Chain A
Amino acid sequence: MKGLWDKTKKVCIMLSIKNLHAKVEDKAILKGINLQINAGEVHAIMGPNGSGKSTLSNILAGRSGYEITDGTLTYLGENLFEMEPDERARRGIFLAFQYPIEIPGVNNMYMLKAAVNAKRKHEGLPEVDALDFLTIAKKRMRELKMDESFLSRDVNSGFSGGEKKRNEILQMLLLEPTLAILDETDSGLDIDALKIVADGINALRSPERAVVLVTHYQRLLDYVKPDFVHVLADGKIVRSGQADLALTLEQLGYAGVEKEAAE
């Protein structure tokens, strides 16, 4: 895999965030984020509302509207700031949206096939034809217990909250990203849907990929076990640890952990 080998730890560095500062309309949101994500790892980023979780996800995917005031963002050895959102996606970054957008009139499968083919083209692979794509898509949809009627529906149009989230996971499974960022994908899901979504994420785990789970609650982490947990508060990572940190958080609450970190 193209990227940077960390010789001491014998891992491939996929994403390196250094001293990241960002503003929205003059309000500082991120105040010095440092994070390294290696291939094969699952990181959970947890934090209270307004801590900057979504901002971080959006900046990684390349959304405009944020002013980067300091820091670097390196993905597989390349400067991410120099890439448009679509280029990032074609190079393997995927963001599952907290609020997926409805696009009536544009067929879900058509959009997805176009997306998959844009990525394949970038990788120098031949385009997948409609029939092959349909076969793969149907298989994935069965795994996510999605009704076949989703094939003929428009992108998220008229979907319930849970359906939208499942559709995000379907997109993720079909695009097979190298780095998947899931922004509060667990919110608004009932327990059955949560398990299905978790199965989808687990299916993606591999030594070549990395996953970032941005979440408010520990719930999802019962089903997708992270390698690392980071607590984001007021634009900074105040604490990092392993999976059990999420449980500590559950017990002490964000305030407790922040307090403990301050001590």
Chain B
Amino acid sequence: MNMTEHWLQQFQSLDKKNNPHSALDELRHGAFLRWEKAGFPSTRHERWKYTELMGLAETPFQLPTPSAVLSNTVLQTLLPAVIENSLRAVFVDGEFSTALSSKISNNHLHFGSLHDGFKMFPQEFESYLESIKTPIDSIDDLNTSFSRNGALIFVPPHVKLPQTIHLIYLYTRTPNQMAHMHNRVHLAEGAEATIIEHHIGHDDNIYFSTTVNHISLEQQAYLNYYRCQEQGINAYHINRLYLTQARASVTNLFCLDFKGHLVRNEIEQRFIGQDAECHLHGFYLGKGRQHVDNYITVDHQVPHCLSSQRFKSVLDDRSHSVFHGKVKVAKDAQKTDATQHNANLILSTQAQINTEPQLEIFADDVKCAHGAAIGQLDESALFYLQSRGLDKETAKQMLIYSFAAEIFLAISELEIRAFWQAHLNLYFSGIPLHEELITC
């Protein structure tokens, strides 16, 4: 069977489970046809210049079969620590797991089948259909064709979600498996939420996942969003996040990448109302042959908005980091304040970085700054720590930690900051920096 037949077979296996007459299925069929024709984007595609997906195109990925699901013991070892006052929604290979998730009694939330979800929120269905009609590229079509599950979070006006939503996506050990999720978040006027999107997988086999998130904030809504990836070392993951912000809304978004084989994170942000703020932060720790690509567009279509991008990476071995951050400022978007910074710490001569901070400005009264830095550990700082008696390796780890810490210190929610710092520590040669901070 060639790859075209393979994909068709996968799509048809899914198709049988669905109602063939809905408007949605028509759109999904359209998306699949486009996907079939286009396949994975190549590096000739400007958006994919530094990220090669050939490895993906050659692998016959399969949708999971229920029998392939891992034992509970293995799943338990993959699950992260519980964050205080959080509601966890666990997906295993793309399917929602009631057994592993918190009991959900909040009627603004739905996890699992999108089909069931839109029965709960029929008013949101139109905007879902609308959003999948205009793909950026074939990745959107792939996700639309295959995603049947996800999280729906629709917060009504002036409601603050009382708990942190911890979305946990676990990936099993079955070889060549794939999973595709679609999440939607809508915060109505003055609504507030904290959401964690957390991807965790096993190291043993190759697998592939895509997640498309559509997030919209109405005026004065406030969102803290954490997207963290601890995929297996052979995992392919493509994550796309569409974010639309109305007047005076605020987003603080953190992209934390600790693992994965080939990871692509996209953020397509758009300001559609004045006085809004969007703060994007990212940290990537690269080892082995890992490749992480952050592709970001911040679009100031209206005046008086504030945006910041601050991304850092620490690269060891033959790891590769790509940062593409674009700020667009439309002709009428006067008084825009946009900053963009990408700093990289290189620990190995074999590591590679491509960084492209870009500004596209059509307004004349704006404040925009961008910059990129690539460097090694500061020799004088290393000497300072060594001169206090710390051996070179410990001193190095402290300095790398310090470099990374800036991103983590920007997390204003203290419990969540502690949770991620504890994560960061796991990746640092057993130096329990964070626990020590608590004791002292």
State the A residues within 8 Å of B (CB).
61-65, 84-86, 88-90, 94-95, 97, 100-101, 103-107, 109-116, 118-119, 122, 130, 133-134, 151-152, 154, 171, 175
Contacts and interface: CB of A to CB of B under 8 A. Distances in A.
B152 to A, nearest CB: 37
B383 interface: yes
Nearest to A105: B405
A152 B440 CA distance: 7
Contacts of A103: 381, 384-385, 398-399, 402
A104 B390 contact: no
A263 B145 CA distance: 93
Interface in B385-418: 385-392, 394-395, 398-399, 401-406, 408-409
Interface in B414-440: 433, 436-437, 439-440
Contacts of A101: 378, 380-381, 384
A152 B438 CA distance: 9
A153 B388 CA distance: 18
Which of A106, A118, A133 counts the most B-chain CB atoms under 10 A from its CB? Answer: A106
B405 A84 contact: no
Contact of A104 (B387, B389, B395, B402): B402
B389 A115 contact: yes
Interface in B364-385: 378-381, 383-385
B440 A89 contact: no
Q: Is the contact region of chain A dominated by helix, strand, or loop, or is it mixed? A: helix
A117 to B, nearest CB: 9
B390 A115 contact: yes
A121 to B, nearest CB: 9
Contact of B389 (A89, A134, A152): A89
Which of B380, B391, B395, B401 counts the most A-chain CB atoms under 10 A from its CB? Answer: B391
Which of A65, A112, A114, A154 counts the most B-chain CB atoms under 10 A from its CB? Answer: A114
25 contacts: A61-B383, A63-B387, A64-B383, A65-B379, A84-B386, A86-B388, A88-B387, A89-B386, A89-B387, A90-B389, A97-B384, A103-B399, A104-B402, A104-B406, A105-B401, A105-B405, A105-B406, A110-B433, A112-B388, A114-B394, A118-B388, A119-B389, A130-B440, A151-B440, A175-B388
Contact of B440 (A65, A105, A110, A175): A110
B352 to A, nearest CB: 25
B98 to A, nearest CB: 40
B437 to A, nearest CB: 5
Nearest to B391: A86
B124 to A, nearest CB: 41
A94 B386 CA distance: 10
B405 A106 contact: yes
Contacts of A94: 387
Contacts of A89: 386-389
B381 A175 contact: no
A86 B405 contact: no
A106 B383 CA distance: 15
Contacts of A100: 384
B109 to A, nearest CB: 35
A84 B392 contact: yes
Given A106-B401, A130-B440, A85 B383 contact: yes
Given A105-B409, A111-B398, A122-B389, 17 more contacts: A84-B392, A86-B392, A88-B387, A89-B386, A94-B387, A97-B387, A103-B384, A103-B399, A104-B409, A105-B402, A106-B402, A111-B388, A112-B388, A118-B389, A151-B440, A152-B440, A175-B389
Contact of A64 (B379, B384, B389, B405): B379
Nearest to B440: A109
Contacts of B392: 84, 86
Interface string B190-229: 0000000000000000000000000000000000000000
Contacts of A104: 402, 405-406, 409
A84 B386 CA distance: 8
B405 A111 contact: no
B391 A113 contact: no
A112 B404 CA distance: 20
Contact of B387 (A62, A65, A116): A62
A215 B1 CA distance: 81
Contacts of A116: 389
Contacts of B439: 130
Contacts of A119: 389
Nearest to A129: B439
Given A103-B381, A105-B406, A111-B398, A134 B440 contact: yes
A118 B436 contact: no
A63 B389 contact: no
A64 B384 CA distance: 12
Contact of A63 (B378, B383, B437): B383
Contacts of A62: 383, 386-387
A179 to B, nearest CB: 12
Contacts of B402: 103-106, 154
Given A64-B379, A103-B398, A110-B437, A115 B408 contact: no
Contacts of B391: 86, 118
A105 B436 contact: no
B409 A107 contact: no
B437 A115 contact: no
B408 to A, nearest CB: 7
A110 B386 CA distance: 15
